Amino acid sequence: MAIDREKPKHETVMDVTAERIARVYATAFMEVAAKSPDAAALVDEVVSLVTDVLDQFPQFDATLRSALVSHEEKQQLLDRVFGNRISVDVLNFLKVLSKHGRLELLRPIARQLKKLHSERSGMREVEVRVAIALDDAVRREIEQTLRKTLRAEPVMRVRVDPSLVAGMVIRVGDTVYDSSIQTQLEHARRHMIDLVVDKIETEPERFVLAG
């Protein structure tokens, strides 16, 4: 189980949209991969393209992303660079992404492929954000609870986020389970405001200074 200590990331509308589009392409690729004798290898191949190629050669990555480079030029580049080095299914997938101007989504697509493959293998990826690092006993308890709830084997990724104050935030796909004190305090604050507003509306005389 990986543990990251990093500043909390707040998703933007653009991030969410990119992930949703990426999931569409990832789902389409998984349908192709399902016909292969080794779907896991194809998923690993796409993930490897990100970690071993794009991350290591940023100039090549920038060229694939560039709107100034035509689809025809990118297609030739893909053939020249990869040729017989990658499977036909993955190479064709890259060309489809290029044709639709979506090569810049390779990273989120790789993330979604890992999630989809895990789900189809009886596993679920779970992101856990906590205020402080988990000890082994708490981690096992969380895993056991998730295993019963999800009816699948949880693959947990833990992020330490001090801004939570206490408690934790668990994310499974698009569902977020939030038990942080900060969130509870915010809910309490909003509830108090609603009560005051309701009192002002129903008993305005109590809030008007006598002349």
pLDDT band for 1, please (50, 70, 90 cuts): very low
Q: Which residue's entry shows tokens 């993930």?
A: 47
The answer to whether 128 touches 158, Cβ cutoff 8 Å, is: yes
In a domain, 206, yes or no: no
DSSP helix/strand/coil, 168: strand
In a domain, 210, yes or no: no
Mean pLDDT over residues 98-111, rounded? 94
Other CB atoms closer than 10 Å to residue 47's CB: what's the count? 18
**DSSP string spanning 103-162?**
GGGHHHHHHHHHHHHHHHTTEEEEEEEESSPPPHHHHHHHHHHHHHHHTSEEEEEEEE-G
In a domain, 3, yes or no: no
The answer to whether 136 touches 156, Cβ cutoff 8 Å, is: no
The answer to whether 155 touches 118, Cβ cutoff 8 Å, is: yes
Integer Cα distance of 83 and 77 in angstroms: 9
**Final residue before a domain boundary, out of 117, 144, 163:** 117
pTM of the model: 0.59
Residue 146 has pLDDT above 60, yes or no: yes
Regarding predicted confidence, which is higher, 129 or 3?
Answer: 129
Q: Are residues 127 and 77 in the same domain?
A: no
The answer to whether 100 touches 10, Cβ cutoff 8 Å, is: no
pLDDT at 190: 75
- Tens of pLDDT, residue by residue over 147-180, are 888 888 888 889 998 888 767 888 887 788 887 7
The range of the structural domain enclosing residue 131 comes to 123-201
Q: Are residues 23 and 59 in the same domain?
A: yes
Integer Cα distance of 24 and 112 in angstroms: 9
**Final residue before a domain boundary, out of 117, 132, 153:** 117
pLDDT at 2: 45
Residue type, 74: K
Provide the CATH number for the domain around residue 37: 1.10.520.20
In a domain, 2, yes or no: no
* Radius of gyration in angstroms for the set of CA atoms belonging to the chain, rounded to a whole number: 24
In a domain, 1, yes or no: no
